[in-house]
Amino acid sequence: MVEFIEVHLTVDAPDKASRLAHGLLHAGLAATVDISEVTRLIRREGGIEETSAWQLGVVTTAGRLADIERHVGDDHPDEEILIVTMPISRLD
């Protein structure tokens, strides 16, 4: 049985989110991609900074995770992007 996962990653601009989502879909690495604007709170030495960010929720298979990581790294080579994965327990 194929294991489906959801991959979450966040970028700092809506055009980056859209470009990344389209790239993942065109490359066959994702079944769906949801894009949501979120508020990002970041602790800095001077206090807490509040900014907007765009989170992508990517539904894919566990076997494609390494390819997604490479694709994201190629698309954003100068940025550190946190990638979080979660198993999908039910997909109907």
**Residue 34 pLDDT level (bands cut at 50, 70, 90):** very high
Which of 55, 54, 58 shows the shortest CA–CA distance to 88? 58
pLDDT of 36 strictly over 90: yes
Query: What's the pTM value of the predicted model, to 2 decimals?
Result: 0.86
CA 26 – CA 78 distance, rounded (Å)? 23
pLDDT, tens digit, for every residue of 54-91?
999 999 999 999 999 999 988 776 677 788 999 898 77
Instruction: Output the CA angle 36-39-40, nearest 5 degrees.
Output: 115
User: Would you give the DSSP letter of residue 61?
Assistant: E
What pLDDT, on the 0 to 100 scale, is given for residue 78?
Answer: 63
The domain locations on the chain are 12-50
Identify each DSSP E strand in 12-46 by its residue range: 32-44
